[in-house]
Structures are given as C-alpha cells and as structure tokens.
Chains A and B, each alone.
Chain A
C-alpha cells in the first residue's frame, strides 16, 4: 500500500464547554440530562429597546476567570468570546490528559482551529468610542488582539504552546461543526496528531441586536424565559440568543492508544458544502437540495448506511425552518414515520449560541454517545403538525432516554447558505 494513502482514524479524547446551562463538563452533562434551561431575562436588553429580552449567558465568577487567565491577561480584558473559548479549550486539553504549563516544550504535532463570528464586540465598541473621541493613543496594546477574529486561537495557541496550525474559521452558525471537520481532515491526512477544535460567541447585545432587528428572535416569552426556546414546537416563535463556547480534542487513534487516553467517540467522517444561494437558497435561507446532499455526502465519507443512524442532533433553531430541516433529513436518509431516528435540539435549553452553537452541540452529541443517552427536547410537548406529518411523534423525545447509540449524526447550517454534517460513532476497536 502506498503510504500516502494511509488515512488515520480520528477519535475524540477531550471535551470542554461553557454553556448558559452549565459551565464545565460535569455541570453541563447534568444540565442536558435533566433538561435544565439556561435561558433568563435580561433587563439591559429591555432597557435598550430589544423585542426579545431573554437569552442564554454562562455564569462565571471573577475568581473562576482568574483560574484560566493571568492578572496580566485580565488587564483591560473585555471579550467574552475569548474568555469562553479559553476556558472551554483549556478544559478540553486537560480533560484529554495534558497539563497546562507556560514553559512547556513547543508541540509541533498539536494545532487548533477555533472559530467565531464577531469576536470581542464589546472591546471593539470601546475602541470605536475612543477613536471617535480623538483618543486613539488610549487604546493601548489590548485592542488589536481582543478584536481580531483570530484572537481566540491566538490566546489559546500561546497558553497551550501549539506548533501545528493555529487558526480561526468563520461560517456563521456552521462555524463549530466546520472547525471540527477541518481538524478531522488534518489528522486523517497525517498533517497533525492532535487538533483542538471548537468555537465561541460573545454574550453581547451588540452581537444579538441585528437578529432582533430581523425579527427572527422570539419576543413572546419575555415573562417566561425558560419556555422561550421551542425548537420543533407548534408554538415556536423564533430563536432565543445564546452564547458560550465548546471545545473538543481530536486525536489520531494511534496517538490516543499510545497515550492510553480516554476515548469519547470516533469521528467517522462528514461533509461541508454550500447551497450557493441558488434553488431557493439565499443569504439567510437554505437551499434544501444542498442540505440533503451535505447529509448524503457525509454518509458516503463515513462509509455508513442511513439505516445505521440511531440519533440525530439537529440544527433546529425554533424558527419556521424547523419543519423544512426535518423534511430534508427524511429525504436525505430516506427514513420517515416511525423508521426515523430520534432527534433533538440542544437549543431548547441553551438558545441559539450562534457561532458557538456547532461546537457546544457537538460536545452534547459526543456526551450522548459516551454515556449512551438521548437528552430531552424541552418546550416541545406540542410538536409542530408539519413535523408529525413527517416523523412519528415519539421520535422527538421530551424526556431523557437511556439508549444504546452506535452512530449519531450532527448537522449545523448557517447564514450564507452553508452546511456541515458530521457522523460520530461509539468507539470500538
């Protein structure tokens, strides 16, 4: 066999998460098993005139921040996306069995791809006000690194001492799942042994404002925040904004076995594509044909049959597009009614974490495989009739289920008509 054709198997050996309903892996695992919502009311949104005054913001004490960032890094620090990304990334790296040491030897076999949308937007606001006030010199040294898109990968790269590729990707709400697949390809093709992948998104009204203006966020649950995020529900009224970060350590199976690392799951394969804003696709709406092709191409890449998928973790934001997404899954998998896999949406508990959604949801997907359960869809007692016309009602579980999951499919779709689908498998030799 030609050596260049040898493809590495890729496994997941570490997880880290900063989510509105749980900061850190144990808290998050417990929250998704018990169907705990992280959505709360925010008076500052009300005061600024937002229609939607609820959202998902991770709760982090000042003391906790200092466990991840040094006093020097915290000086003039004003970027929640970098904070969340560093916390999730550091946690994942430690979870994989590595230590954090600022004097560690440069590791050319490890890299990172950590995505974001608009990063450090509060810091950017600070800078804009100073410049408009003719005070550009007062920006100091902290403005650039906290507002550049790659701020998050730059911070993490230095903290962890990685010598392989260190970069940031950005593809709207597909970002996190795309980062995972980019890291997967890199290890599969022998360019790296380990890739820390993930994505993060700011907790900021400046990130959320544009969506409020587009009227795609729910304004009907300001009095009942925990009921606000209702993917697949007949009473879904738009998404609820969220924020946070998710991180996963991908590793070649060879390296993981050599280190005797804990293996959460195997990444079998996946696909990234775009609908080109043709055939019904626009900047903000998906081209269904491309969505279906993304899923079928992911199956081909993973070398599995549609019938092998036990659970789907969907994109499912709680907008009018949820039933279209279900229809696309039924067509791509050629499975419907009671033959359809179980499906859930993490957004019912954490809202739509935008650029961070893919990574946080991939962490939730992998936890389901590792611990063999299906987390509940909260706020979905009234499944939308367009959805029950396609799949059996019990395929949308509203209670946590213990279940043997051999293979799980995770997909994310984003503005710009971009799609990503990945297939995770329970690890076995």
Chain B
C-alpha cells in the first residue's frame, strides 16, 4: 500500500484548486473553445487556447488579484502554460 506524506496531499489539493481558479480567470480571453474544454496541466495559453499574447499581461493582473500575490517580471515571462503558472502561484503563496 503506497504511503503519501501529508504535505504531498495538501499540495495536490492546492494544485487542483489553483487550476480551477485559473480556468475561471482565462475563460474570457480564450479564442479556442475546444482547447478550453480540454484544459489540463499541459495546456499552453497561446498554442492551445489561442489567447492573444497582449492579453497575457491581463491574465497575470487577474491572477495577482485572485491570489493576492505579486508576480515579478522574470516569473511573468514563464507564465505561458497552466503548469508553469500553477508552479509560480504555489511558490508565491508559500513564500
């Protein structure tokens, strides 16, 4: 029987919760509804959701408001996919 540490479980739940909130945030900017339906950790904002690159800064501002964090320029540049964004959000929340 596999054994999970408590910390891992918390992180896992946290990740799903973050993805759920992120889904609501990106929804208005999405140009590819098919990609949005299949949204998962590997989803790329520009390639899969066809979000206008100019709108990425708006998504970042919305993320800051939702999670009450501030995202620096270096982190911003990396926030091109769900996975990278969740990781950055987690880092900032736990910081």
Contact = CB atoms under 8 A, between A and B. Distances in A.
Interface of A: 71-72, 75-76, 137-138, 140-142
Q: DSSP majority for the B interface?
A: helix
13 contacts: A71-B28, A72-B28, A72-B29, A72-B55, A75-B58, A76-B58, A137-B61, A138-B61, A140-B57, A140-B58, A140-B61, A141-B58, A142-B58
Contacts of A71: 28
B3 to A, nearest CB: 44
A299 to B, nearest CB: 48
Contacts, number: 17
A75 B57 contact: no
B45 to A, nearest CB: 14
B54 interface: yes
A140 B61 CA distance: 7
Contacts of A137: 61
Question: Among the interface residues A72, A138, A142, which one has the most CB atoms of the partner chain B within 10 A?
Answer: A72
B79 to A, nearest CB: 14
Interface residues of B, number: 7
Contacts of A75: 28, 58
A422 B54 CA distance: 41
Interface in B27-49: 28-29
A261 to B, nearest CB: 33
A138 B65 CA distance: 11
B55 A141 contact: yes
Contacts of B57: 140-141
Given A72-B29, A72-B55, 10 more contacts: A75-B28, A76-B58, A137-B61, A140-B57, A140-B61, A141-B54, A141-B55, A141-B57, A141-B58, A142-B58
A337 B54 CA distance: 61
A296 B54 CA distance: 49
B75 to A, nearest CB: 13
Nearest to B70: A137
A219 to B, nearest CB: 42
A72 B29 CA distance: 6
A76 B65 CA distance: 14
Nearest to B53: A141
B21 to A, nearest CB: 17
Nearest to B73: A137
Nearest to A144: B54
A7 B58 CA distance: 48
Contacts of A142: 58
Contacts of B61: 137-138, 140
A49 B22 CA distance: 45
A338 to B, nearest CB: 61
Contacts of B54: 141
A142 B54 CA distance: 9
